Structure 1
């Protein structure tokens, strides 16, 4: 979305010493040796104390064991968090048919594989409800939204509550370019979906943990971790207006992550991953990433589902 110009960090300048300081260097060398001897002696004494005092040795071992257990518990928690949330995240492919469909009705055509279509982009989204509504970014499906040829398609790969993978064509329900949001709908007959658990963004604090799940560069079900780096940021929307109140995070967000959920430590969605600054000329993320706050999404998505347009456009 934008690029940052990185400047090389200044390196400390090496200074040369004069010949008159050689004696000082020798003294420093002697002092250094003495300090090293004292340090080794101290370590040796501590080891002897541990061996001679089983209480100290047991306390150190117990402390190490507790630290290992805490690390294992933290890892297990993140693993469970991903397993419980990833079923609600979808993989979106933006497709263009290589030839005009024989039928004039879009509903009669669906691309079962990618042989008859060209993949023009990929993105992420998440299951909003059990009726098959999918929330994503507008810029993920903008070609479908502005299609005048009838050749654009949207293929959504998802998983049901039983863990069965399947894919469906995503039908456009509503868009709001001002907030870079869009809603798709897939046919879920015969499947039971697992919607996300919606959280809140108004009580977020800088420093709290957060996690991004998506499909960066086409790699499905990717988890990245980080913290909330900043709040109340302002980023540009696809229509040129400013999106205010964005969440800044250092959890990696790359091409293909757009539209996926940013979640908190409880698995609640707190934002929609949207943008990242990249280092100029590299395309590599700078670690400054942004998500649309879920409170904004909650105000927008219900109107898109019902009316197909945001509230501000209903009476135009």
Structure 2
């Protein structure tokens, strides 16, 4: 549910230096918030043998590893590692023999063979291979994709005893400072386990089609290219998020990672599993948070709110009569409230839209050339735009 077709970079949560955790060939420049690309298969590593995948773990030849203490990280890893897979993709590159390969991660969510991952992990894939914790592989088929939420479901046909769904936690009850544990395949190193804390909540990032993603979990648990679609767990080993992107000036982990909350993903799973398109309410504008400094520079009477910078032709807001010059100017409308809820930042507007449905009517309080007016908008379904930068 996207308030704007795009967001001006200054309104984003530090949109600079973001790295995707997925396809290496899609790695954006170092000055963007990047989605974690899957790692090239040239660096592929086999799943490590652990106590979860062998009859007896050993420290050395003939020496059995001691059982991990209950509740320890080692115990959590042994319990959850079988529920995280590596996803290898092949993507055609203009010819029958021209293709690239990359790797990401996925999460087993049921005994029917459904694997939850990021949309950008499987985007454009012509072949998908899923590697389980015990080394077994299976061909995967994309069942559903939602680019606007950066989520996808891959289906595999394997026996139920090979599938180990992770226990689902509650991302609505998370607190900053809580334990955050990540499992995935960074740089093709399958079954990698890292630990940190929840560093922030309700962050805003951007989906592959440039729709704004709100309510994201921020963590300092190390995640890198190849971690995309992998699990973010709490201190009890319950799934709380799907690792998605990092903010970095070096195309690698610097302690600022983002995960999609599991509660959001869980609500979309039934549609993704059935391949049903998911609609996301949309105003059809580009905007930025209006600060007192920007207001002063533009000579605006309103000092806070959302500055409407552009309006998508024939979009919901265009039909409702919202106005903008295509770049910040004194003629742009300023949204100060929606349905009576005061708005001082673009994230607030987007988050409110996330509670609505396509076809709902919202009332915007707008300041236009010093005058206060109300504008009713019927929300449309999000449409990606070439210049969108939410």
TM-score (norm: length of structure 1) = 0.65
User: Between Structure 1 and Structure 2, which shows a larger proportion of helix residues?
Assistant: 1
Deviation at 1:97, TM superposition (A): 6.4
Cα distance, 1:307 vs structure 2: 3.9
User: Alignment RMSD, CA only?
Assistant: 2.8
Structure 1 residue 96: Cα displacement: 3.7
Shift of 1:193: 1.1
Separation in 2, partners of 1:190, 1:74: 28
Equivalents in 2 of 1:178, 1:213: separation in Å?
24
Is contact 2:71–2:236 with CA below 8 Å preserved after alignment?
no
Which secondary structure does the structure 1 equivalent of 2:86 belong to?
strand
- 1:210-251 deviation line (CA, Å, top 9, x unaligned): 100000000010011000000000001111111000000000
- Superposition deviation, residue 119 in structure 1: 4.6
| 1:298 alignment counterpart | 266
Query: What is the CA distance between 1:73 and its match in structure 2?
Result: 8.0
Q: Which has the larger radius of gyration?
A: 1
Deviation at 1:190, TM superposition (A): 7.0
- 1:86 is matched with which residue? 81
1:234 to 204, 208, 218: 204
Instruction: Tell me if structure 1 keeps the 8 A contact 2:68–2:74.
Output: no
CA distance 1:75–1:139, shift in 2 (3 Å): same
Aligned: 1:154 with 2:128 = yes
- Indicate the SS of the match to 2:173: coil
1:40-86 Cα offsets, whole Å, 9 max, x none, are xxxxxxxxxxxxxxxxxxxxxxxxxxxxxxxx987971101001000
Aligned equivalents of 2:276 and 2:69: distance in 1?
Answer: 42
Pick the aligned partner of 1:183 from 153, 157, 177.
Answer: 153
Note the C-alpha offset of 1:310. Answer: 1.8
CA distance, structure 2, for counterparts of residue 205 and residue 249 of structure 1: 11
CA separation in 2, counterparts of 1:78 and 1:129? Answer: 24
Cα distance in 1 for residues equivalent to 2:16 and 2:111: 36
The 1:275/1:193 distance shift into structure 2, 3 A limit, reads same
Give the secondary-structure state (helix, strand or coil) at the position aligned to 1:85. Answer: helix
Q: Provide the C-alpha distance between the structure 2 equivalents of 1:262 and 1:97, rounded to a whole number of angstroms.
A: 31
Whole-Å separation in 2 of the counterparts to 1:96 and 1:242: 26
Structure 2 residue aligned with 1:258, among 228, 234, 243? 228
**Paired residues, what number?**
223
- Report if the CA contact (8 A) 2:201-2:217 is conserved: yes
Q: Secondary structure of 1:165's match?
A: coil
Answer whether contact 2:91 2:124 (CA < 8 A) is retained: no
Between the aligned partners of 1:155 and 1:214, the Cα distance in structure 2 is 15
Where does residue 300 of structure 2 map in the other structure? none
Segments of structure 1 that go 5 or more residues without pairing to the other structure are 7-71, 101-115, 145-151
Q: Does the C-alpha gap of structure 1 residues 96 and 241 become closer, same or farther in structure 2, counting only changes over 3 Å?
A: closer
Of residues 184-193 and 211-220 in structure 1, the stretch that sits farther from structure 2 once superposed is 184-193
- Among candidates 118, 122, 142, match of residue 137 of structure 1: 118
Partners in 1 of 2:263 and 2:179 — Cα distance? 18
